[in-house]
Amino acid sequence: MKSFFPEKFLILIVDDNLNNLQILRVILEAEGYKTTVANNGQDAINRVRVNKPDLILIALIMSPISGLELCDHLKFPLPLTTSPIILIRTIHEQEHLIEAFEKGVADTIIYPFNPAEILARVRTHLELKQTRYQLKQLVKEHEKLMNMLRKLASTDPLTGLWNRRHVLSVGYQEFHRACRYKRSLSVLMIDIDNFKQINDAYGHTMGDEILKGVAKSIVGSLREADYCGRFGGEEFVTLLPETDSAGAVRVAERLRRRLEQITIGIGDQHVQMTVTVGVASYQSDDSNIEVIIQRANQALYQAKSQGYNRVGLIG
């Protein structure tokens, strides 16, 4: 745990006995703590809202609102503070202890005051609060790291699209949904035309920019319910739930036309590219999503055999 610095903590002291307020303030400020005081419950509630103290000392016997009633206001039903509360009592006021702990009190101190005991109890509860906060931060950092790792495991680092493994995973889910509910499902296999020649002519940096530009254009042509991933090299796969073959061809044509109109450049070098798209749709005798993807791949190569920058359909 990090070092403990009293000056970083603000303590609220609540008591209608002004002498007690002054004694506690002197004890705490001599140790380095910052303090603020309230001599009634309503003032204490206002200070909690405004000052957000790190710890609160509350006298058990006060009027018109007692210390236990004030605890109710601070902790229930929605807490105004999560800071620890220490109750100030006399040695004879023990009958309310269980009720006090039920109301969220963390500890008690006894009047007449023992400065060493007060400082020890205050520090203990502030250190516990500090430790809980640090643990929460560690949990948040752990969750952030796990989310990052999950993203790295499921996305293509260059384009930011889903990677092959994740597309297949989602594809199996959509395939089973199409089978169970007799719904439509289509797949687009998208390939950048003459990508090797572009790489050879302009270099891999330009090639990477083209891959990112194509990925962005594909995503911009799809619905929120659709999925797109980089399948490898210059190939992209798009899953279109609730889309039959006619609808999938329309999507593919819209995408093809969009891509042939864009130019991607680095410095004074600019490249226009085209794509060829293979389309395949779910059929009742298909055994899994990979069968549909394979048909889309066949449609892609049939289209390429007839020339580039076109859409081919199988099934």
Contacts of 183 (CB under 8 A, 6+ apart): 177, 241, 242
Place of tokens 């007799």: 182
Place of tokens 């069968």: 291
Strand partners, 313: 279
Find out whether 51 and 36 touch, Cβ atoms under 8 Å.
yes
Find out whether 26 and 113 touch, Cβ atoms under 8 Å.
no
Q: Which of 234, 235, 253, 290 is catalytic?
A: 234
Nearest residue to 268 via CA among 223, 214, 202: 202
Q: Degrees (nearest 5) of the Cα angle 154, 156, 161?
A: 85
Q: Is 141 a catalytic residue?
A: no
**262: number of Cβ within 10 Å:** 14
Contacts of 90 (CB under 8 A, 6+ apart): 110, 111
Give the β-pairing of 34-38 and 235-241.
Answer: unpaired
The helix/strand count (H/E) of the chain reads as 10, 12
Residues annotated catalytic, as ranges: 234
